[in-house]
Structure 1
């Protein structure tokens, strides 16, 4: 019987823009004699890379290329959350708290409750923001997250 699977690993990826910075960073060769003048050492060997392709990097530093259209259908960026939300997620996971209890309004720290539900500046309850942030935190719990840079 065929089963359905989803990818669970996270990857690092950067869209190639043809800049000298990226050519140097990924040790990309340039040779006008080839149909695709930029070439990168990837899992498949030395292959052509074009502006717009994604260079993915695995846990051992290996690279592989993904065409832009395929990348957009296959990968989603990890949620970006504030540090205090990340701290709450990690505390709850450490303590054995369920994802439902972690999202429970009465249990969450006040700063997190405000971030989830209140419109910045007006501090009025915003149902749409609350729903979006609840889903964002649940996704961060399940898939991992990036911590928002300090402003």
Structure 2
């Protein structure tokens, strides 16, 4: 019986552009082949990498290539959330609250956000339902903190 699986870890990936900088960074060799003139050393040996393919890096520093179409179907960027919201999410997890309780707006109970402005920022961000979806995705998959504007 076939079972359905999902990926459970995050990866770091960079789209290959053929630049000298990327060739040096990933130790990419240049060959004379028409199909894949660029080659990268992976756990499976040297494999071709084409411009616009993605070079993924695993938890042990190993690299592999992913074609652009497969990458776009398989991966999504981690959600970017504001620093105050990230701190709130961390506080809620530390307090062993559920995601439902975390989304309910009981910020004072679970967060170190004690100033009125911080609480207002968090509640204002959580109010649109799209942001609640982002918060849930960040809770489950991880997140990056938005750059300050």
Q: TM-score, normalised by structure 2?
A: 0.87
The residue number in structure 2 matching 1:34 is: 33
Tell me the distance in 2 between the aligned counterparts of 1:43 and 1:53.
18
Distance change in 2, residues 1:95/1:106 (3 Å) = closer
Tell me the distance in 2 between the aligned counterparts of 1:72 and 1:44.
23
Please tell me the root mean square deviation across aligned C-alpha atoms, in Å.
1.3
The residue number in structure 1 matching 2:126 is: 116
Which structure 1 segments of 5+ residues have no match? Answer: 118-129
Deviation at 1:3, TM superposition (A): 2.6
Deviation at 1:106, TM superposition (A): 4.0
The 3-state SS of whatever aligns with 2:107 is coil
Which is worse superposed, 105-114 or 75-84?
Answer: 105-114
Contact map agreement 1:80 1:145 (CA 8 A) in 2:
yes
Tell me the distance in 1 between the aligned counterparts of 2:134 and 2:71.
21
Deviation >6 Å, runs of 4+: none
The 3-state SS of whatever aligns with 2:51 is coil
Q: TM-score, normalised by structure 1?
A: 0.86
Which structure 2 segments of 5+ residues have no match? Answer: 109-118
Contact map agreement 1:101 1:107 (CA 8 A) in 2:
no
Contact map agreement 1:12 1:57 (CA 8 A) in 2:
yes
